[in-house]
Amino acid sequence: MTYDDAVKALSNDAVKLVKNNQTIGLGSGRSATAFVKSLSLLVKKKKINIKCVPTSLQIKLEAEKGKLHLIEAVLDKIDIVFDGADQIDKEKNLIKGGGGALLRENILINAAKKVVIMADSSKFVTNFNRDVPIEVHPLARNTAFKSILKIGGKPRIRTLERGYPFITENG
């Protein structure tokens, strides 16, 4: 089974957790995109009433395409969040935010009553073996670098193919 097939199957299972009149947080990335497509079909088929809070422009556009009802975050009213993960270790810790929506994803996950992480077997690792994304405001760059160095980290600015800095959803 390909990664895309696995994500589609996970999304089709996850959408079964959606209930009428819920406020749903929509994560970012491939898993969240597949979930939004499944959710759009569910809403159209069952005519349920839901409100969705996207964490990224990518997911907002996908949700608009699927005619989902979008609202701004009402943080004390998020019933359930559906998202993917970059990696999951044996203790069920997650690395998230590699797609650039780290802050928004974390805000919704922490505000939600329930969180569903959709991940296939390729995301599960014994020990993390990739960079951990950290969102830093440009004014705090030097301070953040020093703090990361103090705890043994190796900070670096993530760059795009042409060498430009990678900019997150929040700028």
Q: Which residues are catalytic?
A: 105
Residue 117 Ramachandran class (φ > 0 left, ψ -120 to 50 alpha, else beta): beta
Cα–Cα–Cα angle for 17, 20, 25, rounded to 5 degrees:
60
φ, ψ at 47 (rounded to 5°): 55, 40
Got the DSSP string for 98-166?
A: TTTTHHHHHHHHHH-SEEEE---GGGB-SS--SPPP----GGGHHHHHHHHHHTT------B-TTSPBP
Structural Rg of the chain based on CA atoms: 17
Rounded-to-integer distance, Cα 87 and Cα 119, Å: 9
The token pair at 23 is: 């406020």
Amino acid at 18: V
C-alpha span between 64 and 45 (Å, rounded): 17
